[in-house]
Amino acid sequence: MRNICFIIISLIVVSACQPNSIILDQPANVSFQIFDEDENGMEDIKIKVHSLINEYLELTNQEGYADFGFFNSGEYQYSLIFKDPKTNLDYSIIEPFFLNSGHDSFFEIHLKEMKRDLSLTIINQSGIDLTNYHACLITFDTFNSFAPTDCSGIELAIDSQLVDSLGKVQFKNVPIQEYIGYGLILYQNPAECDYEMINSRVYRNQINDYRVIVNVH
C-alpha cells in the first residue's frame, strides 16, 4: 500500500513540474502597400479583408499604405477592386491567405506586375470557329454602357486584335481581373457589332486560355 501511495505522489509531483503545454494564440498584424506603374504609392485605394464572419475595410494613405491592425490566426481573404486613375484601367484582385499566430503579414502589390496575357478561342452559337473578325476586349462597365448595339464602345476597348483563321486571338498585358472578368465586341464592319460578356477572368497564377461562345448576327 505504501508503494502505491508513493507512486501516486510521485506522478503528481512530476506532472506539476512539467512546463505549461498550453500555447496561446498570439495576434498578428495585417498590412498592405500598393504601388502604381511608376512605383508611386496609390492613395485612397479600398482594401477589404474578409474573415469567415466579418469584413474589414481600410483606405490606403498617400504612400499607398493601409494597416488593418491585429487579427487572430486563421483563414482570411483580401480583395481590391479599383481603377488606376493614370491609365483608367480596372483591376480586381482577390487572394486567400492564412495568418499564422504571432507572424505579421505584409502584402506589396505593384501594378506593373499585375498584368497577364489572355488567350481566347472564339466560336459562334453553332460551335463554329469565328475567323477574320475584329475582337475588342472591354470592361464590365463598358459592356453595361454600350451593349447590345452601340458600337461606340469600340473606342473604349482595352485592346483590339484580329481573330486568326483558327478562331484564336491573344490580348497582351491585360490587367488582372480575378472577380468580374471581361467582355468582347466582335465586328467585321465597325458599324455592325456584337457584344458578349464572356466573364473570362484574368488570374495571376494560372494560364488564362479560354474557349468562349459568342452569339453573332
Task: Give residue 195's domain range.
Answer: 115-214
- Alpha helix ranges (H) inside 104-203: 140-146
* Residue 104: DSSP 8-state: -
pLDDT (average), residues 156-175: 95
Q: Does 127 share its domain with 205? A: yes
Pairing of strands 168-175, 115-124: antiparallel
Which three cell numbers mark 171? 490580348
pLDDT at 1 over 60: no
Q: Does 179 share its domain with 94? A: no
Q: Which of 98, 178, 163, 101 is nearest to 132 (CA)?
A: 163
Q: Does 95 share its domain with 144? A: no
Q: Of the given ranges (10-19, 84-93, 154-163), which has the lowest mean pLDDT?
A: 10-19
Q: Does 138 share its domain with 63? A: no
CA–CA dist 7, 41 (Å, integer):
67
pLDDT (average), residues 164-187: 93
CA–CA dist 13, 140 (Å, integer):
70
pLDDT (average), residues 62-89: 93
Read off φ and ψ for residue 143, nearest 5 degrees: -60, -45
Confidence of residue 30 (pLDDT cuts 50, 70, 90): very high
pLDDT at 174 over 70: yes
Number of domains in the chain: 2
Pairing of strands 134-138, 74-83: unpaired
Share of the chain above pLDDT 90, in %: 68
Q: Does 176 share its domain with 191? A: yes
Q: Are 93 and 109 in contact (CB under 8 A)?
A: yes
Q: Does 50 share its domain with 60? A: yes
Which three cell numbers mark 43? 492613395
Q: Does 201 share its domain with 189? A: yes
Confirm whether 54 is domain-assigned.
yes
Which three cell numbers mark 33? 502597400
pLDDT at 41 over 60: yes
CA–CA dist 24, 160 (Å, integer):
56
CA–CA dist 165, 145 (Å, integer):
31
Q: Can you give the CATH number for the domain in which 39 is found?
A: 2.60.40.1120
How far, CA to CA in Å, does 101 sit from each of 53, 67, 73, 75? 19, 18, 5, 11
pLDDT at 33 over 90: yes
